[in-house]
């Protein structure tokens, strides 16, 4: 590993910061905002539908289009995203920073530090995606601290993670049990992976292909560590992934606490956040009373009075106010320390680890779930506080999203997990092999292409079909696990967006809509179906065409980690030059093909796709399985 490894990471962070800022500025400063909204970077023409006071006096705003019947367009403004709210058509409008907490088809809810004060009558608002400089600064600080470490535990971890020293393991021991037994019955590969991770002296990896129960293994790893008397830091790149871990840990009876803005946490889990537990503690009432007295004293000191106060009285009042505020702060810090000390597991996003809150708190084990979906600098933040590290994820699915071409050229999209797997392979990694999601026929191609044909379908999913569901009709469509519908030679041609780089295919969208209609007619519920596509423009077109609010229609990237009984995939690309665009990153297709439980329908143009070796093998697979057909076999009515 070159000596300038950390300098390269810092440079990549700068490239990403510049690209992030440029993208936001380029779109947010457009006069109408329509192009920015189409790109998913803002929402325009919003009104406040509901407002209430939330955590810590924050303003919680539910917003939507002025026409209450109008749905929100596709947007990158998801739960947890930092935003800036501004008033439209008012040049002197203020800007209020906040975070998105929830979103549905008609409304988006944001939390601001204070309520906006509009200038115009019947104001309309604009929400813009904002950069998250706090997260980036925490990554910079971590990289600098690790780079400077030349002794102690952090330096030893650094040497192993840079490949300068080999990772070491103790003899794997049997898993401990308690009154509840294990969190869930573990299969052989899960037990082996957990035991291997527990035996690591520095670093281990749990490789979890789609549907193999990775989260089950991760939760059991954490429980096993706790039973051994260890303190665990459980992290993931996204709030949703952290919440998933937290929920499973609480179900398993662990004393877990969640660090992070409560607005970024699922509503049903907010009572387990540090913020709300501090706020609900009886001792906080005294701290609040001291703060109230301090501000009253400060106001009194600043007031003008006709009679001059006694000499030194104002200085004494200032000193008393300062003492009260300091005591209140110490009380809050003691409460935070007590709550963190009483938890066996602390859960947070990688960049949500706040030094001010955590102080000098150290952990025996740090676990990073979905580790293949984040860039390397974020992974070093929890390492500053841990003796050992376990990464869990799947480097054969989508990598971290990188905005900067310069950062990408420097290898910034190579996650720490993938780098370590390349370096050490099976020395540090154990793969899960039994998958509990897909019909065996759906599983087979991805297993062959990405996992050396190692996956085995569990007995209860091996042959399950839509027709096995009691409310679904048993017809040819529901009695088979998968099919490919070839649009070659039809009028299903791709179109480039007039603004932006995304693509759509109206003809193919019609074929998709027909397949969805047939599934619904067979009794499959809208909530059991998802339509996914690599291109945001096609996703927008499909939402308009299908118009079913209960059905999820999203990009492949947006659906990673999800699953449905029936998945319809629209591949979009259809051209005379055989270009497949960013479909050439076959990990994207691995994600798409492994979302379906009982029925997979893929729609695309074989004459375009077959120019790429991977897609040629995929087409051959469908044909061998007797699952290949053409658009002429299912014409659009």
Q: How far apart are CA 334 and CA 372, in angstroms?
A: 36
Alpha-helix residue ranges (DSSP H) falling in 80-233: 133-148, 152-161, 188-198, 214-227
> Which residues, listed in sequence order, are joined to residue 366 by a DSSP beta bridge?
233, 389
pLDDT at 306: 47
- The string of DSSP letters for 244-267 reads HHHHHHHHTT--EEE-S-GGGS-G
Q: Find all residues with CB under 8 Å of 3, minimum gap 6, and list them.
A: none
Kindly report the CA angle at 50 between 44 and 51, in degrees rounded to 5? 100
Q: Are 383 and 157 in contact (CB under 8 A)?
A: yes
Alpha-helix residue ranges (DSSP H) falling in 69-212: 133-148, 152-161, 188-198
Q: How far apart are CA 242 and CA 106, in angstroms?
A: 26
Q: Are 136 and 13 in contact (CB under 8 A)?
A: yes
Query: Sign (positive/negative) of CA torsion 370, 373, 378, 383?
Result: positive
Q: How far apart are CA 11 and CA 376, in angstroms?
A: 13
Between the two ends of the chain, the Cα-to-Cα distance in Å is: 60
| Closest of 596, 615, 599, 597 to residue 607, by C-alpha | 615
Q: How far apart are CA 8 and CA 18, in angstroms?
A: 15
Residue 496 has φ and ψ, to the nearest 5°, of -80, 140
Collapsing DSSP states into helix, strand and coil, what is residue 450? Answer: helix
| Closest of 566, 367, 546 to residue 482, by C-alpha | 566
pLDDT at 565: 98
Q: Find all residues with CB under 8 Å of 522, minimum gap 6, and list them.
A: 466, 472, 473, 475, 477, 478
pLDDT at 133: 80
Q: Are 55 and 263 in contact (CB under 8 A)?
A: yes
| Closest of 488, 506, 505, 508 to residue 578, by C-alpha | 488
- State the burial class of residue 193 (Cβ atoms within 10 Å of its Cβ: 0-12, 13-18, 19+): buried
Q: Residue 585 is encoded by which pair of tokens?
A: 């990153």
Q: Are 619 and 610 in contact (CB under 8 A)?
A: yes
Q: How far apart are CA 238 and CA 246, in angstroms?
A: 12
Phi-psi domain of 490 (left: phi exceeds 0; alpha: psi -120 through 50; beta: other):
beta
| Closest of 575, 578, 611, 604 to residue 589, by C-alpha | 604
> Which residues, listed in sequence order, are joined to residue 386 by a DSSP beta bridge?
363
Residue 256 has φ and ψ, to the nearest 5°, of -110, 145
pLDDT at 636: 46
pLDDT at 183: 46
pTM for the predicted model, two decimal places: 0.86
> Which residues, listed in sequence order, are joined to residue 237 by a DSSP beta bridge?
none
Q: Which residues of the chain have pLDDT under 70?
A: 1-3, 23-33, 53-57, 91-93, 172, 178-184, 284-285, 287-288, 294-295, 298-314, 499-500, 635-637
pLDDT at 24: 64
Q: Are 150 and 143 in contact (CB under 8 A)?
A: no
Collapsing DSSP states into helix, strand and coil, what is residue 591? Answer: helix
pLDDT at 304: 45
Q: Are 381 and 195 in contact (CB under 8 A)?
A: no
pLDDT at 580: 96
Run of H or E residues at 442: helix 440-450
Q: Residue 139 is encoded by which pair of tokens?
A: 């990554």
| Closest of 231, 159, 220, 237 to residue 184, by C-alpha | 220
Dihedral, 603, 606, 607, 608 alpha carbons, nearest 10:
60
Residue 74 has φ and ψ, to the nearest 5°, of -55, 140
Q: Are 446 and 614 in contact (CB under 8 A)?
A: no
Q: Are 197 and 155 in contact (CB under 8 A)?
A: no
Q: Are 592 and 586 in contact (CB under 8 A)?
A: no
Q: How far apart are CA 333 and CA 456, in angstroms?
A: 50
């Amino acid at each position: 590993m070159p000596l300038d490894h950390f300098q390269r990471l810092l440079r990549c962070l700068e490239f990403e910061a510049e690209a992030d800022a440029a993208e936001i500025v380029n779109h947010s400063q457009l006069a109408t905002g329509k192009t920015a909204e189409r790109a998913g970077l803002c929402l325009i023409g919003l009104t406040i539908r509901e407002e209430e006071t939330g955590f810590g006096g924050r303003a919680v705003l539910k917003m939507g289009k002025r026409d209450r019947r109008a749905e929100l367009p596709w947007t990158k403004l998801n739960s947890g995203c930092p935003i800036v709210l501004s008033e439209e058509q008012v040049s002197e409008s203020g800007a209020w920073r906040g975070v998105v907490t929830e979103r549905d088809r008609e409304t988006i809810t944001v939390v601001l530090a204070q309520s906006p004060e509009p200038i115009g009558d019947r104001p309309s608002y604009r929400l813009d995606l904002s950069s998250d400089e706090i997260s980036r600064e925490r990554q910079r600080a971590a990289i600098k601290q690790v780079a400077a470490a030349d002794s102690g535990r952090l330096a030893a971890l650094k040497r192993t993670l840079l490949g300068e020293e080999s990772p070491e393991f103790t003899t794997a021991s049997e898993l401990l049990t308690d009154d509840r037994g294990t969190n869930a019955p573990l299969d052989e590969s899960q037990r082996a992976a957990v035991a291997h991770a527990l035996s690591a002296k520095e670093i281990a990896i749990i490789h979890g292909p789609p549907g193999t129960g990775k989260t089950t293994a991760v939760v059991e790893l954490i429980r096993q560590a706790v039973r051994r008397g260890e303190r665990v830091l459980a992290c993931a790149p996204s709030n949703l992934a952290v919440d998933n871990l937290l929920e499973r840990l609480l179900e398993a009876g662990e004393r877990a606490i969640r660090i992070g803005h409560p607005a970024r946490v699922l509503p049903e889990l907010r009572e387990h956040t540090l913020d709300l537990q501090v706020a609900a503690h009886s001792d906080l009432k005294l701290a609040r009373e001291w703060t109230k007295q301090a501000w009253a004293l400060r106001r009194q000191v600043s007031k003008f009075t006709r009679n001059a106060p006694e000499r030194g009285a104002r200085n004494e009042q200032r000193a008393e106010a300062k003492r009260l505020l300091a005591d209140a702060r110490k009380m809050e810090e003691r409460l935070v320390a007590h709550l963190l000390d009483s938890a066996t597991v602390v859960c947070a996003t990688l960049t949500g680890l706040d030094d001010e809150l955590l102080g000098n708190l150290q952990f025996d084990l740090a676990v990073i779930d979905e580790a293949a979906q984040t860039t390397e600098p974020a992974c070093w933040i929890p390492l500053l506080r841990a003796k050992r590290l376990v990464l869990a994820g799947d480097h054969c699915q989508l990598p971290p999203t990188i905005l900067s071409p310069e950062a990408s050229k420097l290898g910034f999209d190579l996650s720490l997990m993938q780098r370590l797997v390349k370096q050490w392979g099976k020395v540090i990694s154990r793969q899960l092999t039994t998958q509990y999601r897909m019909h065996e026929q759906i599983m087979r191609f991805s297993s062959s292409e990405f996992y050396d044909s190692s996956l085995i379908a569990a007995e209860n999913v091996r042959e399950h079909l839509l027709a096995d569901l009691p409310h679904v009709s048993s017809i040819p469509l529901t009695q088979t696990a998968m099919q490919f519908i070839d649009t070659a030679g039809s009028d299903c041609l791709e179109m480039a967006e007039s603004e932006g780089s995304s693509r759509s295919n109206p003809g193919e969208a019609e074929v998709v809509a027909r397949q969805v209609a047939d599934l619904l007619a067979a009794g499959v519920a809208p909530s059991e179906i998802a339509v996914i596509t690599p291109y945001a423009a096609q996703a927008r077109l499909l939402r308009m065409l299908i118009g079913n609010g209960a059905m999820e229609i999203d990009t492949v990237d947006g659906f990673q980690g999800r699953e449905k009984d029936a998945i319809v995939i629209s591949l979009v690309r259809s051209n005379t030059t055989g270009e497949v665009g960013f479909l050439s990153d076959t990990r994207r297709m691995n994600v798409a093909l492994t979302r379906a439980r009982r029925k997979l329908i893929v729609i695309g143009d074989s004459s375009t796709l077959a120019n790429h070796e991977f897609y040629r093998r995929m087409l051959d697979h469908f044909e061998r399985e007797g699952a290949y057909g053409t658009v002429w076999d299912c014409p659009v009515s």
